Amino acid sequence: MGNATRVSFGQALVELGREHKNVVVLDADLSKSTKSESFGKEFPERFFQMGIQEANMIGVAAGMAFAGKIPFLCSFGAFLTGRFDTIRVTVGYAQANVRLVGTHAGVGIGDDGCSQMALEDLACLRTLPQFAVLQPADDVETKHMMKYLVKHQGPAYIRLTRQNVIDVNKSDYKFEFGKGVKLKDGKDAAIFATGALTGNALEAAKKLEAEGFSIAVVNIHTIKPIDRDIINEYSKKVPVIFSAEDHNVIGGLGGAIAETMAEVAGKSRLVRIGVQDVYGESGLPEDLYKKHGLDIEGITKTVKSALR
């Protein structure tokens, strides 16, 4: 098991701060949780603790971007999307060069419960024009994604986990914006996974292979723009495509894949693995993953059931 992607983010942020003097960080009284505190300790003159006032923080970050800075704006994903109207106008419409960093994504945050579980953030932010939406699968990918984000032009949202995740990428990994990563090929079905579920999907595919199933696994680190080519490729190759995400099945990765599949002449049907349009609740992360079928066993069971 590797790092939580929020931990990898915090480490990468410090490295970027050393290399790029125009990187600034803003946080809304959650720097210990978002892991931006390490940046604040090393670069106090470029770290801005804004208090519990996310809307103001969004406006300040946009102003800094227009002044030539590269702001990383940090909070829980649920709290950021709670200020959707401010993001829409101040960052999105203005095309401010801001990176919104939403940690504590999905039911994987566990005990904190519904009020702090971001289960709608992908659905909200991918509707904004020219707004990049990204979710890394592991430590290596997070750090490479951060290096890319310094160069990216325009607003972007990066979604991170509280819990540790399975490492799926090798040390020679290279991040390519907007391109899915084939972790495993297969002919019976394909699982398109994002974030914490990428490792679980890969482990499920290995279990299924031992039972005679050939399952492809694709890591979708960029939700928007979605990799239409790889979706089109597998929609013509396999009878079933699965989306796997720690997010509401409506509007997130599954929604993006469904929209793409509706426009191509493929042969696949889509099965969405995720939170089935219900609110989150408190519980141990492993128990919540089991309840919602997001753990390795749950994904394995869903794939086998759909292929019978």
Mean pLDDT of 59-71: 98
Digit-coded pLDDT (tens) for 122-139: 999 999 999 999 999 999
Cα 239 to its chain centre, rounded Å, is 26
Kindly report the average pLDDT of the chain as a whole number. Answer: 96
Of 16, 43, 15, whose CA–CA distance to 27 is shortest? 43
Question: Does the pLDDT value for residue 265 go beyond 80?
Answer: no
Residue 134's domain comprises 5-159
Residue 88 within any structural domain of the chain:
yes
Buried b / exposed e over 215-225, threshold 16 CB at 10 Å, is bbbbbbbbbbe
Q: What is the pTM of this model?
A: 0.96
Q: What is the pLDDT of residue 170?
A: 87
Question: For the chain, first and last CA: distance in Å?
Answer: 31
- Kindly report the CATH number assigned to the domain that includes residue 135: 3.40.50.970
Q: What is the pLDDT of residue 156?
A: 98
Strands 222-224 and 132-134, sheet pairing: antiparallel
Q: What is the pLDDT of residue 84?
A: 97
Question: Does the pLDDT value for residue 1 go beyond 90?
Answer: no
Q: What is the pLDDT of residue 266?
A: 82
Of 152, 117, 111, 114, whose CA–CA distance to 134 is shortest? 152
The domain total for the chain is 2
Residue 10 within any structural domain of the chain:
yes
54 is catalytic: yes
Say whether both 153 and 36 belong to one domain. yes
Residue 123 within any structural domain of the chain:
yes
Compute CA distances 53 → 35, 71, 232, 288, 305, whole Å.
18, 16, 42, 30, 46
Say whether both 27 and 78 belong to one domain. yes
Residue type, 308: R
Say whether both 110 and 215 belong to one domain. no
Residue 192 within any structural domain of the chain:
yes
Q: What is the pLDDT of residue 171?
A: 84
Say whether both 19 and 150 belong to one domain. yes
Q: What is the pLDDT of residue 58?
A: 98
Say whether both 73 and 155 belong to one domain. yes
Say whether both 107 and 245 belong to one domain. no
Say whether both 19 and 123 belong to one domain. yes
Say whether both 197 and 109 belong to one domain. no
The residue from 15, 37, 54, 263 that is catalytic is 54
Quick one: pLDDT band at residue 267, thresholds 50, 70, 90? confident
Residue 174 within any structural domain of the chain:
no
- Kindly report the CATH number assigned to the domain that includes residue 200: 3.40.50.920
Question: Does the pLDDT value for residue 251 go beyond 80?
Answer: yes
Q: What is the pLDDT of residue 308?
A: 80
Say whether both 103 and 231 belong to one domain. no
Say whether both 58 and 199 belong to one domain. no
Question: Does the pLDDT value for residue 247 go beyond 80?
Answer: yes
Say whether both 122 and 241 belong to one domain. no
Say whether both 12 and 147 belong to one domain. yes
